[in-house]
Structure 1
């Protein structure tokens, strides 16, 4: 009987799936594609999952071999902590299928469980309880004569299988930058999609559903990309600066870029750019051809120069070549781009620049108005008012008009993008680097357009932001205190841990959990507020905010006072998360004008006097100086470091008290007045002059002055968890150390492009990668991994990893003995202060497990190293053998967690 029921269901499933393919749509009479999705999908869930936990696996179906190994059985039951009686089972759901002619088809899947007591769970555990996971299974069907290349993308999901090929990364935020290229044989192909609900991206109101959009699109050329112009200034896949001054104006900047994808089955090299030479010239920024392996997407950066007047569209071409039958075949891909023409240079407009990662980014710039009263001096240098957007928003949208109601501010108003609408990593490592590069581009803009107005003080920021941008304000305030002259945090959350707590992570040893929280210390702004001392701060929040509860601003208003700093807090009665004019209310407008007026007065006043202050540091690699004091290295990474300073006004003795600090640097005018200096009670014979800096190191018993160049082997860009790899000064080099590693190397490249807008070069030559400017990601299997360039505690063998455990003792994790599917992800040093991120697995399947931990979504909490096996896929963090940090000497820190 059960077999008959299953057969009947399968028949219905096939009938619902095999809708006409290649015929006409009965409603629109448009031709249907030669490929489509099944109409009925099989669903299994819901299961518990914590905030940003999916990178660690934590999939309970892995206890039963994984969803991909399960077959549909309506009578099978599965244990789940979220449902009645603790038991769930299979169900089915219909998807909405739509298409655009024969070229593209979409399947929209919405899954929810209204019978689950979500409201009770939320009342008990908060938003964290509204996050859940599950799986969905359907099919792709192609006609018998369909043999082309298809492009596949899944919006709203991070993990899926197509037939027996596993993909981790997906397109969680719907960026649609780097689809997967598929070469499918005719017929049916199974698709398994992991459903993961995330409050931060999907919201916390109503029944917590998951909405996923799957897309199939035909590839029409070996070199593809989203190159179709839409409207001026909004070219999908093309980034162009605006033209200011009308038809006879100038480009606001010289850089542009286009995302291109290799849909061929061989490597393609882009070696040049061309335009209409009587009108425009294009030049690749790279000094040598750019390589794209099959299936790879890269942002191609180039310089542009045109002679006015400007046409409605500009034709450009990318020159590329590939080898075929021993011959070098050359082609040119042409496209039309439509830059936006603005008559008024004082309007907010798009300015492009090079991100430190080597690709082109943009910001929206509004120069100081000619009507602004900013003093009589012709050489006046004005600060930068930085406005950080919220999650999911482009700077080039209504965001750029946020300060229209304050048109005459004595400041350069700048709207950075953070590279992506989600600012990649919430305005932290990658996003803050984008902010600093955008600010640094303003002087070049002045040269480009022939600006004759006020100058810019790029080191003085009045920083503001809304929602996630408000959180970014707290980050800038606590991590760049010497640049921030004042701060305005609007409707911002206090920390990612407070916003959606980590309550529902799978249970694990507290030692493991402590390492995750230690890695996320830089997000814990509540612990870093002493860095805001002596910096004016204003907070504003709507009392009826259902997106970021007003509690966050109330909490920070309390904690900032407890930290010896101060803020003025305005809670707006009855106001929601966002409303028109949210950034220019009277309290905010008065604050901006007051702070800018004070800045003008300070430029002609006496230099800043020395004050008592503290600097608290979670990661030296992310934290700049405060009043000229900068911590370079901690004794124990993953724990807070602190420098407290006070000057005796009678003796003019400058006294420092440190905690968990190994190296620090002093510099700046405020130390000119120090007649004597002590560090932790030790007298230091040193005089610090303006324009000079001095570096101090703690030895076993004393402090001493050291040469900064040799003060530490492990500092600056190398410090932090795995996300320190994001401090690359140039495109990432991804080294596939064997052909079996190709799939994972391409997956990492695709994820970096999708979530960070980053450029990557996939190579086979390790020496080539070591000679490049950017950081390196090594993808290795078994014995393929080369030895470290310097000392490193990890010894990697073909089927084992060992680390020192004191004296002559070693901890050894060996495949088959105490591990199954052994994998590791860890940082190594390479020349010139760069980093190598090693992704290693005992075999190709184990390598895929480790690759999940390459930084992608913020809040996952990856420290300097992780050693695990496939138990991690089911147990999550509890399935990890070792994780922790490296010290300044590249030893394993004492607070790391290692399973003997």
Structure 2
């Protein structure tokens, strides 16, 4: 019998009390101890206020004290906080739930503060008040006698330190797409976690705790599969629905790896089933699309000779990359596939291989099935497709039928039966039903430019699917969309309605929110000059749907919302219904009594069913010829046409542009250039009181005519001429998020130092984590990417060493800091600048995002602003001072927009 604790010697008692903290044991044999373990006792400091999506800007009050990393646990220390009684925050201890095995370890933390009157704060500030931040410190103990290769999972965590290494980006949505790779020696390793509560991620109704998971997994230290299996289509009648395939690979070693080939492992050696969809030419480091979405390119040919030369795809140490290729089946009745991925470590002649297998899913062509296609960003994505049924209720002689888009809500995969089964009760609809992914379960950027490019790519692949599968049923009209969606997909429906009005036949937004700013108000940010905050707000103009309701006029809209929705309050739909009415739009609003955010049958209520059938049988022609309409534009790069009219440039991108059309009279505000497209615009128009002849400018009747404001006069230009213009156009328009409008993988160039290599990898990891994007990383000391690359670029620069400076760009680097030329032509010098981020043009509507730092710490500060989460608000350029670490936006020395000539606009903030 063991003695009671009060009878034990004091030294032994202290030892036992400390055991939970230091993972000691007196009974477990050494050989049975887990290789990885987290301590169960974590030191936590907080809470401190933070606003919606503010963490990207810094806004950490502990940075005023040198940062959490420089603070030691002291229960007597006092820190000022606006949330707690007496305005003071203290250290405390939180117990984590931990688990360990021979190859992994996890710690789950739930941090909450019962000494904050959350209910009262919510009565004043709403959901914005249950967003807060804190820091937590723990330890990871690595056993064994040698360095361990691990990946680190940071579920619901945005920022962390491992020992002395800082990382920003984390895994806020718990995707586990691109965890960092660590090489840790045996012993104790300190972990500092920044905890940020975000209502869109954690909810606004539940108890306001921050629940996170930090975990480690042992990896090979070489090339691993980052995701099991192959992303590929389903099989229909013994044939792949589409031939595009992709594997996601992670280099968990310490040296760069080159992929030299991908070969089918389950066919005879004299036949190659390798059909590279993308290959990286070894001389130019350029990704070349082969076949893209033309599915006929997947026919059997022998590509072995080309493959023997190697892909030349380099995955740097720690990087995760998707690798795309074409697939064929070995037999019609095959139940699985296996491929060998051959690779070698750079500067090594030894060739190694990794096998990947995938079970095949055989389905009927009439059931929802997975199709794959090429996203503009150079990656393979997928959607679920349901062609018109044999008994589809099509009207007589309807040879081409519309596309019905069904956009999923946040956190759902498109192949989830909850998504694909939602329209089962209307299985005979006369439409091609597409369930897009938006690439990720949160649609990357809320169905905006990256996610919406995925939607349009999924639509565009349908004609090729028809040819490839010898489809004999109804054809498809890819320019006639009926758009529906639930929750985040409902918001995506509003985006489609307001940004592609000439393609939307009808819309069904269900339980969708109006805009990010309306979902959770941007209260409780650190105080800032209203001119600074106005720039942040303006950088999100394109996504404030309540401001864009005029674009929805003439489109039939059936709204629906649950009366007691506690996730997306019914206020959003009520509010937009009112805005639609005030805009003269055609809409119907149905609120379902006593229903919450989701219920079985939500997408097929009687009101929605009637609307589906009526609209799929509609004979209305698109685009609509409208006698009177208005267009509101936040970002021309996002915007399609309405009534054949498309705004292509704004005078000041920091303000909305507006066009009102009545007959042939056009009035504009803050608009610099417009395209008038066929078939409606052929003759003379009256624009801002000036008569302008369009017919003489058109090359033929099918060519749009571009008109541009020159001084106070509108002039016509040939569209072919405008495309060659050096002015800012097309994919270059918009704020920093325009970098996501890439055609091909994004290249990331860095100077080659230890810190810049780490930051380049961090940027790559974040882009893959949140968008599953592909990136090519290279250092200035290595071979540079070819000028022929098709994707956008990110450049990391230190001090005055900035490559490829654009001579007339108003932001320049000097030996003492940043020089900025404002809208009046005056030079402003920022010798105190710590970091800066800005866009600059490349050829072919490409963009480069420059990340500059006065030193490593300043560059780290700048790298935070690479687009990642929606709702952050990142304009075209930002100059950061030291105080931005704790003041957030108020610590920006300058921020704003570039106009069509890449000059600073008057709406910018320049101190």
Same structural fold, with TM-score higher than 0.5 when normalized by the shorter chain: yes
How many Å apart are 1:260 and its aligned residue?
0.6
SS of residue paired to 2:483: strand
How many Å apart are 1:666 and its aligned residue?
0.4
Aligned residue in 2 for 1:293: 316
How many Å apart are 1:25 and its aligned residue?
11
Give yes or no for the alignment of 1:797 onto 2:814.
Answer: yes
Aligned residue in 1 for 2:676: 666
Aligned residue in 2 for 1:697: 708
Give distance in 2, aligned partners of 1:42 and 1:639: 46
Decide whether the 8 Å contact of 2:63 with 2:886 is kept in 1. yes
* Residues 228-248 of structure 1: CA deviation (Å, up to 9, x unaligned): 4xxxxxx4xx31211123xxx
Aligned residue in 1 for 2:360: 339
Give distance in 2, aligned partners of 1:450 and 1:777: 43
Q: For 1:629-708, list aligned pairs within 5 A.
A: 629-647=645-663, 654-672=664-682, 674=683, 676-687=684-695, 690-708=701-719
Give yes or no for the alignment of 1:737 onto 2:760.
Answer: no
User: Of the candidates 572, 580, 601, which is equivalent to residue 592 of structure 2?
Assistant: 572
SS of residue paired to 2:589: strand
Give distance in 1, aligned partners of 2:279 and 2:232: 21
How many Å apart are 1:806 and its aligned residue?
6.7
Aligned residue in 2 for 1:284: 276
Aligned residue in 1 for 2:791: 774
Relative distance call for 1:334 and 1:82 in structure 2 (3 A) is: same
Give distance in 2, aligned partners of 1:731 and 1:614: 37
* Residues 612-662 of structure 1: CA deviation (Å, up to 9, x unaligned): 111110100000111110001000111111111111xxxxxx111111100
How many Å apart are 1:719 and its aligned residue?
0.6
Aligned residue in 1 for 2:423: 403
Aligned residue in 2 for 1:258: 247
Relative distance call for 1:607 and 1:866 in structure 2 (3 A) is: closer
User: Of the candidates 332, 335, 342, which is equivalent to residue 312 of structure 1?
Assistant: 335
Relative distance call for 1:23 and 1:311 in structure 2 (3 A) is: farther
Decide whether the 8 Å contact of 1:353 with 1:437 is kept in 2. yes
Higher alpha-carbon deviation: 443-452 or 688-697: 688-697
Give yes or no for the alignment of 1:755 onto 2:775.
Answer: no
Relative distance call for 1:109 and 1:476 in structure 2 (3 A) is: same
Give yes or no for the alignment of 1:856 onto 2:873.
Answer: no
How many Å apart are 1:97 and its aligned residue?
1.2
Give distance in 1, aligned partners of 2:528 and 2:581: 35
Give distance in 2, aligned partners of 1:655 and 1:174: 52
Higher alpha-carbon deviation: 498-507 or 763-772: 763-772
RMSD (Å) for aligned C-alpha atoms = 2.2
Higher alpha-carbon deviation: 210-219 or 687-696: 687-696
User: Of the candidates 444, 454, 467, which is equivalent to residue 464 of structure 2?
Assistant: 444
Higher alpha-carbon deviation: 574-583 or 310-319: 310-319
Higher alpha-carbon deviation: 783-792 or 344-353: 783-792
Q: For 1:599-610, list aligned pairs within 5 A.
A: 601-602=619-620, 608-610=624-626
Give the number of aligned pairs: 857
* Residues 442-481 of structure 1: CA deviation (Å, up to 9, x unaligned): 1121122221111111111000000010011111100011
Q: For 1:837-856, list aligned pairs within 5 A.
A: 837-856=849-868
Decide whether the 8 Å contact of 1:610 with 1:670 is kept in 2. no
Decide whether the 8 Å contact of 1:46 with 1:134 is kept in 2. yes
Aligned residue in 2 for 1:125: 125
How many Å apart are 1:374 and its aligned residue?
1.4
Decide whether the 8 Å contact of 1:618 with 1:641 is kept in 2. yes
SS of residue paired to 2:253: coil
Decide whether the 8 Å contact of 1:733 with 1:769 is kept in 2. no
Relative distance call for 1:13 and 1:425 in structure 2 (3 A) is: farther
Aligned residue in 2 for 1:4: none
* Residues 385-438 of structure 1: CA deviation (Å, up to 9, x unaligned): 001111111111021111001000000000000000000000001011000001
Decide whether the 8 Å contact of 2:652 with 2:907 is kept in 1. yes
How many Å apart are 1:677 and its aligned residue?
1.4
* Residues 673-710 of structure 1: CA deviation (Å, up to 9, x unaligned): x5x31111101122266412100000112100013344
Q: For 1:404-803, list aligned pairs within 5 A.
A: 404-598=424-618, 601-602=619-620, 608-647=624-663, 654-672=664-682, 674=683, 676-687=684-695, 690-711=701-722, 713-739=727-753, 740-765=755-780, 768=785, 770-789=787-806, 791-803=808-820
SS of residue paired to 2:346: strand
Q: For 1:353-372, list aligned pairs within 5 A.
A: 353-372=373-392
Aligned residue in 1 for 2:48: 47
* Residues 71-108 of structure 1: CA deviation (Å, up to 9, x unaligned): 00011011111111111100011111123x41121111
Decide whether the 8 Å contact of 1:667 with 1:690 is kept in 2. no
Relative distance call for 1:17 and 1:281 in structure 2 (3 A) is: farther
Higher alpha-carbon deviation: 52-61 or 560-569: 560-569
Give distance in 2, aligned partners of 1:20 and 1:331: 41
Decide whether the 8 Å contact of 1:770 with 1:776 is kept in 2. no
User: Of the candidates 325, 330, 353, which is equivalent to residue 302 of structure 1?
Assistant: 325
Give distance in 2, aligned partners of 1:728 and 1:175: 22
Give distance in 1, aligned partners of 2:20 and 2:368: 51
Aligned residue in 2 for 1:651: none
Decide whether the 8 Å contact of 2:800 with 2:815 is kept in 1. yes
Give distance in 2, aligned partners of 1:24 and 1:403: 56
Runs of 4+ in 1 over 6 A off after TM superposition: 7-13, 21-26
Aligned residue in 1 for 2:20: 16
* Residues 158-201 of structure 1: CA deviation (Å, up to 9, x unaligned): 10000000000000111111111111121111000000000001
Relative distance call for 1:260 and 1:808 in structure 2 (3 A) is: closer
Give distance in 1, aligned partners of 2:340 and 2:22: 41
Give distance in 1, aligned partners of 2:16 and 2:62: 26
How many Å apart are 1:307 and its aligned residue?
3.2
Relative distance call for 1:21 and 1:268 in structure 2 (3 A) is: farther
Relative distance call for 1:710 and 1:812 in structure 2 (3 A) is: farther
Relative distance call for 1:41 and 1:13 in structure 2 (3 A) is: farther
Give distance in 1, aligned partners of 2:384 and 2:623: 32
Higher alpha-carbon deviation: 708-717 or 254-263: 708-717
Relative distance call for 1:221 and 1:787 in structure 2 (3 A) is: closer
Relative distance call for 1:25 and 1:855 in structure 2 (3 A) is: farther
Give distance in 1, aligned partners of 2:861 and 2:14: 33
SS of residue paired to 1:183: strand
Give yes or no for the alignment of 1:270 onto 2:259.
Answer: yes
* Residues 774-817 of structure 1: CA deviation (Å, up to 9, x unaligned): 00000111122113346311111244110124777411111xxx
Give distance in 1, aligned partners of 2:515 and 2:329: 46
Relative distance call for 1:198 and 1:829 in structure 2 (3 A) is: same
Could you tell me the TM-score, scaled by structure 2's length? 0.91
Higher alpha-carbon deviation: 467-476 or 136-145: 136-145
Q: For 1:210-221, list aligned pairs within 5 A.
A: 210-221=210-221
Give distance in 2, aligned partners of 1:892 and 1:664: 22
User: Of the candidates 234, 238, 260, which is equivalent to residue 242 of structure 1?
Assistant: 234
Give distance in 2, aligned partners of 1:864 and 1:450: 47
Higher alpha-carbon deviation: 63-72 or 606-615: 606-615
Relative distance call for 1:737 and 1:541 in structure 2 (3 A) is: same
Relative distance call for 1:807 and 1:370 in structure 2 (3 A) is: closer
SS of residue paired to 2:617: helix
Structure 1 residue ranges without an equivalent (≥5): 1-6, 229-234, 648-653
How many Å apart are 1:10 and its aligned residue?
11
SS of residue paired to 1:783: coil
Relative distance call for 1:643 and 1:130 in structure 2 (3 A) is: same
Give distance in 2, aligned partners of 1:852 and 1:831: 26
Aligned residue in 2 for 1:94: 95
